[in-house]
Amino acid sequence: MKKFRPQPGFVVQAFRFALDPNAVQEAALRSHCGAARAAYNWAVAWVEASWWQRRAEESYGIAEDGLTRWRPWSLPALRKAFNEAKHTDPRFAAWWEENSKEAYSTGLANAAAAFDNYAKSKRGQRKGKRVGMPRFKSKRKARLSCRFTTGVIRIDTDGRHVTLPRLGAIRVHEPTVKLLDRVRAGTARILSATVRHERGRWSVSLQTEVKRDLTRVARPDTAVGIDLGVKTLAVMADSTGEIRTVANPGHYDAARKQLRRASRTVSRRQGPDRRTGQKPSRRWEKANAQRNKVHHRVANLRQDALHKLTTSVAAEYGTVVVEDLNVAGMLRNRRLARRIADAAFGEIRRQLDYKTRRRHATRLVVANRWYPSSKTCSGCGAVKAKLALHVRTFECDACGLVIDRDDNAALNLAALAAACVTGTGVAGDQDTAPAVSKPRGADRKTRATRPRHKAEAGRAGGAALPHQRQEETRDRPQTEALMLW
């Protein structure tokens, strides 16, 4: 599919609303999402059938010219083959007319994207983990989702209903006045709609082309460094020296007692068993729904708190500095995994990324993963070789500074923003040569900063001051400390 490019001055933004469908509409929504899943499974089976056929023919000794032709997996090819098969295939012939064509197009588009990812990953053209062959989607586990790109997609004039193809007008839980006013003023245009069942609730996401004006922040000349943690969710220190602490709400820990009680009730009911084919009882389904409701509430509270935090930061500061944390590696720590997952470090980074780009007046600076923000003294720049995690107070051996560990890290991150602006060889300076990598794959261990010998200082023309002794060490990590995100 051709990638959509917004007009100059416009950006693509999604507006999400919670739906309130009646029983008939909910059944239609589930039917559309099931049709998308069925079309996806059909496409996977149709493409892979030629693969297995060719493999069987090769085992028979058939030459390359006599093998079955490869079946294409592009979206136009899948659409053409599906339109020819839906009239005669017993899996679709009896009911395919009940749903919109967009439901089947959603499944075929997802299958085409899955095969593309598999092919690119196999050729080494795709970043990240290696992607395997597309697998069939289970009716029990697949996420209910369907996308509409054509047809009647609009927000009704009353501001409380959304109209979708073949589904009609569906009531929403919250008013759609903000988007409706933009559409009426001509500063927004709806491109597509995606319905999804998530956290026990149906929602619709309207992808729109919105005119975005330049938004000025409250303090454009101030930079803030954000140090994320478990005990304290975030410690923010700006370039003026002001330090602000954001407490960790701990939504999951607060709900653990309620979750234990709900899980105990579920375990005492007759649940499903795939090995014996046992179906769950009605009491188990009711108890499981109550337990899921607790999980959904915790997720909603966490999302609300993170959005409020990131929105306030992006609206106040001109430069935001965060760390490139290895969240996946941190989750391997069985002692802290639950609290790290509850804090959602990766989600904070993701929200700051798009919210700072949306405002155009705020930039996001990502510190290198190996930058020793906690081990570096914010006063003189001395770097400790080791600093255990249980040590919560930083004590500098050079200047004697005593400061909280998290406050010290946040101050160092805020100082990196100034280094990026002045141009000290950091990433982002276009005219500066990149740092030379260390030979033999040298490790990333932090080197301790030690004062020079008195005799050496005397030969240099006098005793060196503490901040002079640290200049060489401070410049080294800053060479590769920043990445403009």
Tokens of 410: 């946040």
Given 102, 209, 406, 407, the catalytic residue: 406
Greatest extent of the chain over all pairs of C-alpha atoms, in Å = 94
C-beta of residue 232 within 8 angstroms of C-beta of residue 248: yes
Phi, psi of 306 (to 5 degrees): -70, -40
β-strand partners of 316: none
Distance CA(42)–CA(29), nearest Å, equals 20
Phi, psi of 162 (to 5 degrees): -125, 130
β-strand partners of 146: 195
C-beta of residue 172 within 8 angstroms of C-beta of residue 156: no
Examine the residue annotation and report whether 323 is marked as an active-site residue of this protein.
Answer: yes
Examine the residue annotation and report whether 404 is marked as an active-site residue of this protein.
Answer: no
C-beta of residue 19 within 8 angstroms of C-beta of residue 203: yes
| CA angle at 363 for the pair 357 and 367, rounded to the nearest 5° | 120
| CA angle at 332 for the pair 331 and 335, rounded to the nearest 5° | 80
Q: Which helix (H) or strand (E) holds 93?
A: none
Examine the residue annotation and report whether 48 is marked as an active-site residue of this protein.
Answer: no
| 149: Cβ contacts below 8 Å, ≥ 6 apart | 102, 105, 191, 192
Given 227, 238, 342, 407, the catalytic residue: 227
Given 209, 323, 342, 407, the catalytic residue: 323
Distance CA(143)–CA(335), nearest Å, equals 31
Question: What does DSSP assign to residue 465?
Answer: P
C-beta of residue 319 within 8 angstroms of C-beta of residue 223: yes
Looking up tokens 């499944």 gives 107
Q: Which helix (H) or strand (E) holds 206?
A: strand 201-211
Q: Among candidates 103, 340, 337, 73, which has minimal Cα distance to 231? A: 340
C-beta of residue 162 within 8 angstroms of C-beta of residue 156: yes
Q: How many CA atoms lie within 13 A of 291 on its CB side?
A: 18
Burial (CB count within 10 angstroms: exposed 0-12, middle 13-18, buried 19+), residue 186: exposed
Catalytic residue positions, numbered? 227, 323, 406
